[in-house]
Amino acid sequence: MASTARILSSVRIARPALAANVTRQTRGYASAAAGGGPNYGLILSLAGLTGIGAYAYLQYNPAAKAEISAKAHELEAKAEKKVRGVQSEVDAANQGTGSFGALIKDTWTPFTLTNIEPYNHNTAIYTFSFGDDSQHKVSGGQVASALLVKSPGGDDEVKDDKGKPVIRPYTPVSSTEQKGSIDLMIKEYPTGKLTPYISSMKPGQQLLFKGPIVKYKYEPNTFDRGLAVAGGSGITPMYQLISHSLNIPEDKTKWTLVFSNVTEKDILLRKEWDELAKQNPDRLDVKYVLDKGPWGWKGETGFVTPAMLSKLFPRSANSGERIKAFVCGPPPQVKSLAGPKDGPRQGELQGAFKELGYAADEVFKF
């Protein structure tokens, strides 16, 4: 009885204060969210006398109040995550043609494999559909950007030696404006973790995607000449970057591609590069380099050295030209040309480009 009397007394005391609080909070709700934790006064007063009694009960039961507060914050966190996901879609859409982006930066999204086009002995182009209800969507993202890929969960999920899911970045070879699907050029490495799994996939199976992740934000005419040095499958960011630049009518940037491979059959996107060079003779010069060329090979051979770079991409210190060099390839090649990356950071400029007198802000490592 005594506890009941205390609760009813609290109700009588709390009622005027709650009524004032409801009026005050209701006036401010449309313009700003109240600070601090969950608004018990506003929520419970709307439930009438029962709500007021519950409010008084919470004041005498801190454990119950803490439990409800934890639940409220949990729901709030879930709502915020949903909002971030929607905002990521909107952002991707704003960066594309106006259609919603199919990729979501903070969420793994399943895309279905619809076609496999073999390219050479160990590489193929894989086309993944966004789904029947997403044929109007684009991948979204800026140039140059990549996306993350992993296998679906379950018994067949690809994991590393520590039992964690294997996640790999890929740069699409399809345009960021392509609707309904995305194309990845993937080279199988027999000792790799994820590429053997992907090479065994059949149409109808799915991979999980997340992104896009902006690597380098390209702006037309910010430099006069661009040099792209790539090795092996490191060609895909260069293809995205240069093909995008060449498709911008007002962009006057001129490009030289130095693409090194072991053998001639390892040259990826060769038809596409030759066609781009043919269509843009004044803006693109493509140079193929092989470790050891076959009989009759007229291109460069051996490692890409400072002397080779000076020959294929001469520059004068007094020309006043704005120069930008891009590097992407196996880590040993990147290290020899520009020094190793420091995790996601660029790291100190070293190697061939430093020897040639390039400044750190003139070289970008993908």
How many structural domains comprise the chain? 3
Q: Which domain holds residue 23?
A: 2-93
Q: Is residue 219 part of a domain?
A: no
Shared domain check, 350 and 232: yes
In this structure, the strands spanning 123-129 and 181-187 are: antiparallel
Shared domain check, 303 and 175: no
Terminal C-alpha separation, the chain: 74
Shared domain check, 113 and 80: no
Kindly list the distances between the CA atom of residue 32 and the CA atoms of 27, 28, 29, 35, in Å, as whole numbers in the listed order: 10, 6, 5, 9
What letter would DSSP give residue 359? -
Shared domain check, 183 and 63: no
Q: Is residue 99 part of a domain?
A: no
Nearest alpha carbon to residue 207 among 109, 72, 330, 95? 109
φ and ψ at residue 148, rounded to 5 degrees: -100, 145
What pLDDT shows up at residue 6? 43
Shared domain check, 345 and 251: yes
Residue 270 sits in a domain of what CATH number?
A: 3.40.50.80
Q: Is residue 250 part of a domain?
A: yes
pLDDT in tens, the chain (366 residues): 444 444 334 434 444 443 344 333 333 333 333 344 445 444 444 444 444 444 444 455 666 556 666 665 665 655 454 444 444 434 443 443 334 578 888 899 999 999 999 999 999 999 999 998 888 888 877 899 999 999 999 888 999 999 999 999 999 999 888 999 999 999 998 889 999 999 999 999 999 999 988 999 999 999 999 999 999 999 999 999 999 999 999 999 999 999 999 999 999 999 999 999 999 999 999 999 999 889 999 999 999 999 999 999 999 878 889 999 999 999 999 999 999 999 889 999 999 999 999 999 999 999
Shared domain check, 204 and 330: no
Shared domain check, 245 and 201: no
Q: Is residue 101 part of a domain?
A: no
Tell the residue number behind the tokens 């460069």, with chain if given. Answer: 300
Q: What ranges in 30-48 are assigned the alpha helix state H?
A: 40-45
What pLDDT shows up at residue 139? 84
Shared domain check, 361 and 261: yes
Q: Is residue 79 part of a domain?
A: yes
Q: Is residue 240 part of a domain?
A: yes
Structure tokens at 69: 């507060």
Shared domain check, 169 and 71: no
Cα gap 363→324, rounded to integer Å: 6
Cα gap 205→158, rounded to integer Å: 14
Q: Is residue 100 part of a domain?
A: no
Shared domain check, 235 and 180: no
Cα gap 365→329, rounded to integer Å: 9
What pLDDT shows up at residue 303? 94
pTM for this model (two decimals): 0.70
Cα gap 120→323, rounded to integer Å: 34
Shared domain check, 337 and 257: yes
Shared domain check, 306 and 242: yes
Cα gap 350→337, rounded to integer Å: 7
